[in-house]
Amino acid sequence: MAQTINMGSNVEIVNYVLSDSADTAIELTNKTNNILIRNRNDGEIYYRTSNGASNYFTIPSGQSLTVELGAREQTAGYLRAGTSGHVAEILSQYGSGS
């Protein structure tokens, strides 16, 4: 999946090593317009909109998910891994041009 970075956009990139027993908050430095979450490992990553929610979206191995947030606060959701130690790459676009 491609993510278009518009001219004049600001970008923040973070990597999270995830647990399989607790949600990890996607904490960003700036209010973000959208994020791209990429699953870097074998196995699944689960995206939730609130901590400990029973409903989630599964991101399969090697796939990504783009979430449009619209200048939301710095917490952009929560992640959990199917197996502990998985890495999620987060690319956040914020500011003008996003």
* pLDDT above 80 (res 2): no
Cα(88)–Cα(26) distance, integer angstroms: 10
Tell me how many domains the chain contains: 1
Of the two residues 5 and 27, the one the predictor is more confident about is 27
Residue 11 has pLDDT above 50, yes or no: yes
Q: Judge whether residue 97 has pLDDT over 60.
A: no
**DSSP single-letter state for residue 18:** P
* 28-56 pLDDT, tens digit each: 888 888 889 999 888 999 999 999 999 99
> Does position 1 have pLDDT exceeding 50, yes or no?
no
Does residue 74 contact residue 29 with C-beta atoms inside 8 Å? Answer: yes
Query: Does residue 4 fall inside a structural domain?
Result: no
98 pLDDT more than 60: no
88 CB neighbour count, 10 Å cutoff: 24
Q: Does residue 2 lie in a domain region?
A: no
Task: Please write the tens of the pLDDT for every residue from 65-87.
Answer: 999 887 666 678 999 999 889 99
Do the domain assignments include residue 86? yes
Domain containing residue 42: CATH number: 2.60.120.770
For residue 1, being part of any structural domain is answered with: no
Residue 56 lies in a domain: yes
Which domain does 89 fall in, by range?
A: 10-94
